[in-house]
């Protein structure tokens, strides 16, 4: 052969078979005689033919890409979940395409019609992004392959935590330490349709009511799931007329900010204000932060495996996996 790039057509011509037969033989698909398969492989090796994965995917009607949508790019939780998804996809040479929907307008636009993610990917993983029932029905009937993280629908497989129970566990831990005036750092304003903080807030309130304690809205303050927001929310609670003796932060990053604010005032945890977080961030143990551990990369890995199943199987069964959390007691409580 001359120096031009060897194509599948060249292999077919040299082997005296069709291009389709070459494709089936080299991909170990059925309906190819053993002798023909051997001949095609020998010719391909002789010509140093290297298949084009992108072309193969296109021929199979696939892009070799999975889209992942998150509320924001730069939060530790989302980046950790995405890392878990990517590890699973990378192992089978599937690419990841990342999107963020930071507000309600973005979310509506993202799911309207057949957006860019539909044309550019084989399936979608939604991480803490709400999908209304009407949209879910429309996408399911359109054949969309979707897996949700922290949001369950009957139409698609999901991976989630029992957010309500986990938040109640964190709150109960503070109650068990003798606290009766407990604040909470929430995060509702992070993204429209972001359901997790709302469910955790209900878990927090449920634990208070179960213990016979008052639910005081003045002790609920948004920290926007950031360290800066956590510090500002903690300051607002401490400057109130009757500050809490303990605080449940819905993320470790907010808890870090709260700890910094407490220390800046010459106070200490747990002596002046006990603090518990949620996540078990990689810095949580170093900071001595009591928290609810959720195995975020495991969540991502399970979501990655679930989305691959939707691609590789014509009718993959819908499954809803619940990942266990764990109370980690450290010095801040």
pLDDT in tens, 182-224: 999 998 654 455 678 889 999 999 999 999 999 999 999 999 8
Q: What is the pTM of this model?
A: 0.76
Q: So what's the pLDDT on residue 2?
A: 44
Identical fold for domains 8-51 and 65-160+297-323, yes or no, is no
Each residue of 116-175: pLDDT tens digit? 787 888 999 999 887 778 888 888 888 889 999 987 888 999 999 999 999 999 999 999
Domain 8-51: top CATH class: mainly alpha
Whether residue 270 is preceded by a cis peptide bond, meaning omega within 30 degrees of 0, is yes
259 CB-contact burial (10 Å; exposed 0-12 / middle 13-18 / buried 19+): buried
Q: So what's the pLDDT on residue 147?
A: 94
Domain spanning 163-293, CATH architecture: 3-Layer(aba) Sandwich (3.40)
Q: So what's the pLDDT on residue 219?
A: 97
139 CB-contact burial (10 Å; exposed 0-12 / middle 13-18 / buried 19+): buried
Q: So what's the pLDDT on residue 84?
A: 93
For the domain spanning 65-160+297-323, the CATH number is 3.40.50.2300
Q: So what's the pLDDT on residue 115?
A: 66
Domain borders along the chain are: 8-51, 65-160+297-323, 163-293
Q: So what's the pLDDT on residue 1?
A: 41
Each residue of 237-265: pLDDT tens digit? 999 999 999 999 999 999 999 999 999 99
């Amino acid at each position: 052969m001359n120096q031009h790039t060897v194509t599948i057509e060249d292999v077919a011509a040299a082997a005296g078979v069709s291009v389709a037969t070459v494709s089936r033989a080299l991909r170990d698909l059925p309906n190819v005689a053993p002798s023909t398969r051997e001949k095609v492989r020998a010719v391909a090796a002789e010509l140093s033919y290297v298949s084009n994965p992108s072309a193969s995917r296109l021929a199979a009607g696939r892009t070799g890409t999975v889209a992942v949508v998150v509320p924001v790019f730069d939060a530790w939780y989302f980046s950790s979940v995405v890392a878990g998804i990517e590890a699973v996809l990378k192992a089978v040479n599937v690419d990841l395409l990342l999107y963020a929907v930071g507000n309600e307008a973005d979310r509506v636009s993202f799911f309207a019609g057949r957006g860019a993610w539909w044309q550019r990917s084989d399936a979608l993983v939604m991480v803490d992004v709400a999908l209304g029932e009407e949209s879910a029905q429309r996408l399911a009937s359109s054949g969309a392959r979707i897996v949700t993280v922290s949001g369950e629908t009957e139409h698609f497989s999901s991976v989630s935590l029992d957010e309500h129970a986990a938040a109640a566990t964190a709150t109960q831990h503070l109650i068990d330490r003798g606290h009766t005036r407990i604040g909470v750092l929430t995060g509702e304003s992070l993204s429209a349709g972001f359901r997790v903080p709302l469910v955790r807030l209900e878990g927090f309130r449920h634990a208070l009511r179960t213990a016979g304690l008052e639910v005081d809205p003045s002790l609920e303050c948004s920290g926007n799931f950031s360290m800066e927001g956590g510090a500002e929310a903690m300051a607002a609670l401490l400057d109130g007329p009757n500050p809490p003796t303990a605080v449940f932060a819905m993320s470790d990053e907010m808890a870090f900010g709260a700890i910094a604010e407490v220390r800046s005032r010459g106070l200490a945890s747990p002596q002046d204000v006990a603090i518990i977080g949620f996540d078990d961030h990689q810095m949580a143990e170093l900071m001595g932060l009591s928290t609810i551990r959720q195995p975020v990369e495991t969540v991502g890995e399970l979501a990655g495996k679930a989305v691959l199943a939707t691609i590789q199987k014509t009718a993959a069964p819908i499954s809803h996996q619940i990942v266990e959390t764990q109370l980690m007691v450290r010095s801040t409580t």
